[in-house]
């Protein structure tokens, strides 16, 4: 199907790990959808019915069924000129000082503003610092489109997916939506209820933004607590996992310890609030969030020390001990490295002069080499550390 043949009223801007599954789910509800992404090759693959994210469960069948048919992808914003609803899901990263970097979002909004018409609806799904939609986003869209406030609808609905399970999360997980004004909230709710079954309208875009940031902060703080409790149990000679099993019940959920927190979400969102409070010179308002960030990032030092202690038990010079890190992605089963503490741990050990190798079932030798390491079979190493299970194995004894 050609672009001239499709009568899409919905455009999804950004066909990455969040936008592509959403566009596919919309198409699967019988709604024509146009996807806009700057990646020409990704658009080409989608239009020929090929899934560019093969690890995303359930996505391939939807792309085969709808790609190039009711779901067309294009790298050109002007192709979306006839759409009346725009859902924007493009990345928002933090810079080296942990301040939000809006450069990608600003470029997308600039392009969108040029085709925005009176009466159109724009919904943002990228996770933002609270207040971004009603502030920065609205101002930029008004400036670029020449429209005034109230001449287009503007709302926010945070993506709440999990990489690898995005399709099922979109279909089952509760989703919230809120407008910059009452009319925008209602317009966005009416749109989303066509393809989201578990939908909840909240009072404002800022509330919807805060909901998502709250979730990330909750998890980061609780993972930091789990890491602290794990270290205490180690010092006291107590089995953390046995204690955790019985400690968890309806009113208590102890998270799992880890090498730290990675990915695009949990290690990033607390900084949105920390930096906002710093701008307001309210430095005492985010002490717990800031401490949790430090504790979680410092876990690689803890595990590096544990690995060194295990090496001391091996009857070999330290520099000759082959250490295998069994996985360097940020989460098990996901081929992504953003803020990966497992990769950071491997690099920390390497920087200490240790002989570090990687065994990752998700990666081939070239992909491991691209991260600066050699691949090894676990049984060829002297010591194997599994950063997902937090256990040690004597490789050559396997």
CB of 322 closer than 8 Å to CB of 355:
yes
Q: In 10 A of CB 396, how many CB atoms?
A: 14
C-alpha to C-alpha distance for 309 and 16, rounded to whole angstroms: 42
Active-site residue (options: 43, 83, 217, 265):
265
C-alpha to C-alpha distance for 297 and 313, rounded to whole angstroms: 27
CB of 323 closer than 8 Å to CB of 356:
yes
Positive or negative CA dihedral for 136, 142, 145, 150? Answer: positive
Greatest pairwise CA separation for the chain in angstroms: 75
What is the token pair recorded at 386?
A: 């599994």
Q: Report helix angle 299-311 to 287-297, nearest 10.
A: 30
CB of 46 closer than 8 Å to CB of 12:
no
212 is catalytic: yes
Residue whose tokens read 């990915």: 263
Dihedral class, residue 146 (left if φ above 0, else alpha if ψ from -120 to 50, else beta): left
Q: Parallel, antiparallel, or unpaired for β 100-101 and 93-94?
A: antiparallel
Report the candidate in 241, 193, 268 with the shortest Cα–Cα distance to residue 29.
Answer: 193
Residue whose tokens read 């759409």: 83
C-alpha to C-alpha distance for 343 and 337, rounded to whole angstroms: 7
How far out from the chain centre does Cα 100 lie? 15
Active-site residue (options: 43, 83, 142, 212):
212
265 is catalytic: yes
How far out from the chain centre does Cα 332 lie? 14
C-alpha to C-alpha distance for 83 and 375, rounded to whole angstroms: 48
C-alpha to C-alpha distance for 135 and 116, rounded to whole angstroms: 18
C-alpha to C-alpha distance for 253 and 255, rounded to whole angstroms: 6
CB of 177 closer than 8 Å to CB of 200:
yes
Residues designated as active site: 212, 265
């Amino acid at each position: 199907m050609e672009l001239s043949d499709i009568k899409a009223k919905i455009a999804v801007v950004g066909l990455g790990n969040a936008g592509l599954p959403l566009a596919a789910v919309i198409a699967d509800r019988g709604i024509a959808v146009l996807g806009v992404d700057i990646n020409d090759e990704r658009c080409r693959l989608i239009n020929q019915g090929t899934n560019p994210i093969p690890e995303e469960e359930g996505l391939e069948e939807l792309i085969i069924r709808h790609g190039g048919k009711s779901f067309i992808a294009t790298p050109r914003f002007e192709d979306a000129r006839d759409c009346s609803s725009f859902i924007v899901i493009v990345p928002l990263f933090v810079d080296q000082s942990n301040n939000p970097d809006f450069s990608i979002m600003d470029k997308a909004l600039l392009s969108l503003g040029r085709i925005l018409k009176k009466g159109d609806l724009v919904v943002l799904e990228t996770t933002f610092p609270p207040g971004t939609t009603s502030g920065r986003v609205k101002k930029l869209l008004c400036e670029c489109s020449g429209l005034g406030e109230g001449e287009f609808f503007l709302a926010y609905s945070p993506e709440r997916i999990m990489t690898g399970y995005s399709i099922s999360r979109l279909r089952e997980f509760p989703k919230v939506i809120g407008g910059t004004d009452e009319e925008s909230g209602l317009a966005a709710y009416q749109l989303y209820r066509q393809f989201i079954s578990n939908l909840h309208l909240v009072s404002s875009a800022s509330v919807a933004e805060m909901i998502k940031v709250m979730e990330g902060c909750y998890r980061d703080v609780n993972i930091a607590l789990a890491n602290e409790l794990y270290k205490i149990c180690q010092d006291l000679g107590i089995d953390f996992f046995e204690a955790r099993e019985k400690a968890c019940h309806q009113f208590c959920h102890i998270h799992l310890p880890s090498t730290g927190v990675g990915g695009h979400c949990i290690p990033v969102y607390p900084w949105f609030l920390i930096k906002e409070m710093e701008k307001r010179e309210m430095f005492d308002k985010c002490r717990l969030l800031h401490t949790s960030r430090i504790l979680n990032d410092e876990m690689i030092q803890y595990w590096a020390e544990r690995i060194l202690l295990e090496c001391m038990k091996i009857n070999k010079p330290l520099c000759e001990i082959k250490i295998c890190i069994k996985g360097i992605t940020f989460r098990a089963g996901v081929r992504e490295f953003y803020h990966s503490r497992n990769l950071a741990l491997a690099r920390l050990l390497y920087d200490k002069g240790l002989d570090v190798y990687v065994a990752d079932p998700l990666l081939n030798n070239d992909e491991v080499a691209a991260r600066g390491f050699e691949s090894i079979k676990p049984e060829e190493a002297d010591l194997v550390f599994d950063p997902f299970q937090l256990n040690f194995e004597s490789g050559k004894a396997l």
